[in-house]
Structure formats: structure tokens, C-alpha cells
Amino acid sequence: MATLQSCSVCLRESALQLPRHHLTDNYMSRTAKWKCPRAAVIPNFHLPMRSFEVKNRTSVDDIKSLRLITAIKTPYLPDGRFDLEAYDALVNMQIENGAEGVIVGGTTGEGQLMSWDEHIMLIGHTINCYGGSIKVIGNTGSNSTREAIHATEQGFAVGMHAALHINPYYGKTSLEGLVAHLDSVMSMGPTIVYNVPSRTGQDIPPRVIHRLAQSFNFAGIKECVGNDRVDQYTDKGIVVWSGNDDECHDSRWNHGATGVISVTSNLVPGLMRELMFGGKNPSLNAKIMPLVEWLFQEPNPIGLNTALAQLGVVRPVFRLPYVPLPLAKRVEFVNLVKQIGRENFVGEKDVKVLNDDDFVLVSRY
């Protein structure tokens, strides 16, 4: 009996000790061989979405020198997805006709109707395909500071040259809050501030811009209030782009604006370049004015979307809530093209009136 008990104790001790000894050796062996991943020990390593690591770093002065920037249209397929083939053709036509920059996903490009995934993808596509030929300015602004920061980080991470930022709309803030909002995104790279009170419901007054202008990354302001406001900035050496196509000639040549961020240049980029580069030209300005007035009789980009479809350079597809101009207005556009000259417009197809049934309105995409 004593012998059996002794054997039992020995077996129990072996059963308890052997596994512990085995596990300890195995743990030590694995610990000895494991090494920290190489990336984790590289000095100053940043995650891919850090705005400090960009593929196409450009200087603020490069942005400040741009005279013709087109707020590029975003075309669609019949199911509402981006038509990148048509988009690429539009960008190429801007480059060929002398535009120096494009705003991607702005009001004209219907950034307000895009998901952020779509938005950043389109910025990345544009910079990867055309970043060596034209400056790509991504509209990464938002009325949410959190969203504006995140979108701007992503925009610079995919390589955009500069960001366009609007003041918080609808849920308006104080002037101190406005400064804090814009300060939080300007540290990431060259920034154009966009003032369009007719859309945001709040003016960005000069005293705010003068504070923001102290930032190294402040490139300038897209100003839509008028040429009296342009004077207040250019007198202080602040770069201004006119946001009003009907005022841009006088802004450039009489009030010291650097240039224009234009909607009309989607249609007649060559004429708009001449308007910004060729010196005072009241006759050319007068020639373009009927087209400008036609474009903005309804909120932008309704007129532009209609016109590009009539020119045959994009499909007649609208993401709601935008709908095409009525038949009578489309007839007016055909006559305008004839008056100004078809050769001055983008595309090569004959301009058409189009029937109401030709247009596709997409509510879900």
C-alpha cells in the first residue's frame, strides 16, 4: 500500500511539473526569437493618413500665383456613379486650354452630394492622373471641424496640392469659433478660405481674414462679396481670387485680384484664360457676360450641368436635388453658343437642345 501511495505521489508530481517546465521553455523560446516589427522602430514614423507625408508637396507661393482655377464639374453615369472617363476628358480640356488649377468636389463639383469616400477618391484620382500638369485643390471643408480635419488629412495624404475651406454653414458659430475652426485645418498645408455668404448665411469679415493671414499656410481667399471687399484685402497684400465670374475681369485688372476661381471656365476655358492673362479687355468681358448671366439664373451648378450635357461632353445625368433647366432656357443656350462661337466651347459635338426625356434624375446612388 505504501508502495502504491509512493508511486501515486511520483506520478502526480510528474504530471504537475512536466507541463510547467514545457510551457516555460516554450514561452522563453518564443520570447527570445520575437522581434519588434521594423516600422515600429523607425524614428519619426507616421501613420499613412498623417498630412505631413504627402506625395506632391507644393509651396504656398505656388498656389498664390495661380490666376485661372476652374471649379471642375463632376459627371455621372446613368446609375449615379462617377463617370471618370468624362471627368478625365474635362480635366484634359482644362489643361489644354491653359487653366492652372482645379477645385475638386467644390459646390460646382457637387461635393455636397458626395460621400467622403467618393470625395477623397476623386481628389486622389485627379492628383495621380494630372497632378504634374495642373494644381489640384481639394474642397475638404465642412461645417463640422472634426470632419474638416479628417477630410483634409486624407486629402493631403493622397497628394492634393492645397485645400479649400468654407466657414461653418447652417450651424453658424461666433467669429472666435470661426477662427478656431479654420486654424485647426490650416496647419496641414496650403489653404484657400472661401467666403460665400449667400450659401453659408454668414460673412467672413476682413478682421477674421487678417488674423488667418498670419498663418504660413494661408494662400488667400476666394471672395464672393464684391470688389469693394477685394480692395480691402489687396491693399494689405492678401491674395484674392474672385468668386464671381461676372466681376472677375474688373477684380483682376482694376482691384488687384490675383485671378478667378471660375465656373464659366468649364465651358470656355480659353476665353477665361485670355480674360485673366491678356490685360484689360472690356470687349471680351462683354462677349462672355450673356453666358455668365445664363449660367447663374438658377443656383449653380444647375446651368453648368445643363450646358455641358447639351454640348455632349457629359451624360445628361443629374444627382437630385438638381434638375436641368427648362426647354426654353436650353434653346437660349444653343443660341448663345452660336453667338460666342462653338469653337470657343469645350467638346467637339454640335450643341443640342435635348428633350426633357433625355435627362436622367438619380435619387439613390
The one catalytic residue in 76, 222, 233, 322 is 222
> Vertex 226, ends 224 and 228: CA angle to 5°?
140
Tens digit of each residue's pLDDT (9 = 90 or more) over 266-314: 999 999 999 999 999 999 999 999 999 999 999 999 999 999 999 999 9
The backbone torsions φ and ψ at residue 218, rounded to the nearest 5 degrees and listed phi first, read -75, 115
Q: List Cβ neighbours of 109 (8 Å cut-off, separation of 6 or more).
A: 71, 72, 73, 74, 103, 122, 139, 301
On the question of pLDDT at 136 being above 50, the answer is yes
What is the number of alpha carbons within 13 Å of residue 299 lying toward its C-beta? 8
Report the Cα 32 to chain-centroid distance in Å. Answer: 50
> What is the torsional sign of CA 182, 184, 186, 188?
negative
pLDDT of residue 14: 44
**Is 222 an annotated catalytic residue?**
yes
Residue position matching grid coordinates 484689360 = 280
Please tell me what DSSP assigns to residue 35. -
The one catalytic residue in 194, 280, 338, 365 is 194
pTM of the model: 0.85
**Is 87 an annotated catalytic residue?**
no
Helix (H, G, I), strand (E, B) or coil at 261: strand
Q: Mean pLDDT of all residues in the chain?
A: 89
Tens digit of each residue's pLDDT (9 = 90 or more) over 310-352: 999 999 999 999 999 999 999 999 999 999 999 999 999 999 9
Query: Could you tell me the domains of the chain?
Result: 56-279 (3.20.20.70)
Contact 239, 253 (CB under 8 A): no
The whole-angstrom separation of Cα 64 and Cα 100 is 11
* Confidence label for 33 from pLDDT (cuts 50, 70 and 90): low
* Confidence label for 116 from pLDDT (cuts 50, 70 and 90): very high
The backbone torsions φ and ψ at residue 139, rounded to the nearest 5 degrees and listed phi first, read -80, 95
pLDDT above 90 covers a percentage of the chain that reads 84
Tens digit of each residue's pLDDT (9 = 90 or more) over 57-106: 689 999 999 999 999 999 999 999 999 999 999 999 999 999 999 999 99
Helix (H, G, I), strand (E, B) or coil at 155: helix
